[in-house]
Amino acid sequence: MEFTAAQIAGFINGKIIGDPEAVITGVSPIERGETGHLSFIAQDRFAHYINTTACSVLVVSENLLTKDSYTPTIIAVEDAYLSFQVLMNLYEQMRERKTGVEEGSYIHESAEIGEKVYIGAFTYISEEVKIGKETQIHPQVYIGKNVKIGRNCRIDCGVKIYDYTVIGDHCMIHANAVIGSDGFGFQPSEKGYTKIPQLGNVVIEDDVEIGSNCSIDRGTIGSTIIGKGSKLDNLIQIAHNVKIGEHNVIAAQAGIAGSTTVGDWNMIGGQTGIVGHIQIGNKVRIQGQSGVNTSAADGEVLYGSPAMNAGDFRRNYVHFKNFTEIINRINILERNAKEKSNE
């Protein structure tokens, strides 16, 4: 697709400085710009690229502009970062969407498939499944019985969705995620560990995005819930009966153990581990690689393992890294004190 600078400016209510007919054939990161491409500058530390980039058109925050003319065509906006997001969303919507059923897929006769749905090759759709209109099911997806998938969702290649899972509207599940597998539940006995049947399901509410290779276990009894608007990065483990509220963001390689409740608008850093059966409040921020083993109140900022107040952790870390030296100094003081007492 090709656009002119004037067309792009129209989408984001921008002001053009330069050639309004400059043609855009692609996008580039500002550090590796190419002729005919569009990029953006939203921060002062990248402002020097305005004069050196090979990009033909730049979307730039107004506060970074200091001249009346530049080599590339400039589209001046209040916030270049947000404006570029708008453009990327528009581009995504304009891309051609597939429809229809490809060869090699299996759809049970009792399944209900909405209008303008795409089902890729070698996908298996079980009995009593319902798929909303305009949803995209890519190749090699497995969908178990009685699964409900809403409107305008995207299920990428290799995703496995177990029985009775419920997925809302406008959700994205990336490649090889597993939704609704058995929770890790065993009862110890003298003879070993007896498996506890996992009879619940997973409920994913509207506007949720789940990264590739995530695993979300179904509830033992009841549901594991991912709340509206939450975004999960790749390689995340959500255990059985976890309840994640609305608009949470969780970075890669985090794990949340069973029956923990997470509130709304939390930010959980990568490689964070959260134990089971605790409550995380609202607007909590947990720094990467933290180990959370107690409940957290609203608004807390946690860091470390075991996690504590982030400010306290940073102050204490000054002493942690000098611990050997501190011990040596204490030993010297004790030795000197002992020598004086023996005089």
Distance between alpha carbon 74 and the CA centroid of its chain, in Å?
32
Residues in contact with 113: Cβ distance below 8 Å, sequence separation at least 6, in sequence order: 107, 119, 125, 131
User: φ and ψ at 196, to 5 degrees?
Assistant: -95, 120
**Radius of gyration of the chain from its Cα atoms, rounded to whole angstroms:** 27
262 DSSP assignment: E
How many Å apart are CA 229 and CA 242, to the nearest integer? 16
Distance between alpha carbon 90 and the CA centroid of its chain, in Å?
20
User: Is 240 a catalytic site residue?
Assistant: yes
Residues β-bridged to residue 28: none
Distance between alpha carbon 40 and the CA centroid of its chain, in Å?
23
How many Å apart are CA 260 and CA 12, to the nearest integer? 42
H/E run at residue 161: strand 160-161
Residues in contact with 42: Cβ distance below 8 Å, sequence separation at least 6, in sequence order: 60, 61, 64, 79, 80, 81, 84
- Count Cβ atoms below 10 Å from residue 158 Cβ, excluding itself: 17
Query: Does residue 156 contact residue 179 with C-beta atoms inside 8 Å?
Result: no
Which residue out of 37, 138, 170, 240 is catalytically annotated? 240
- What stretches of 182-269 adopt beta strand conformation (E)? 186-189, 192-195, 201-204, 209-210, 215-217, 223-226, 231-232, 237-238, 243-244, 249-250, 255-256, 261-262, 267-268
User: φ and ψ at 112, to 5 degrees?
Assistant: -110, 115
Angle, CA 84 vertex, CA 66 and CA 169 arms, to 5°: 160
**Catalytic residue numbers?**
240
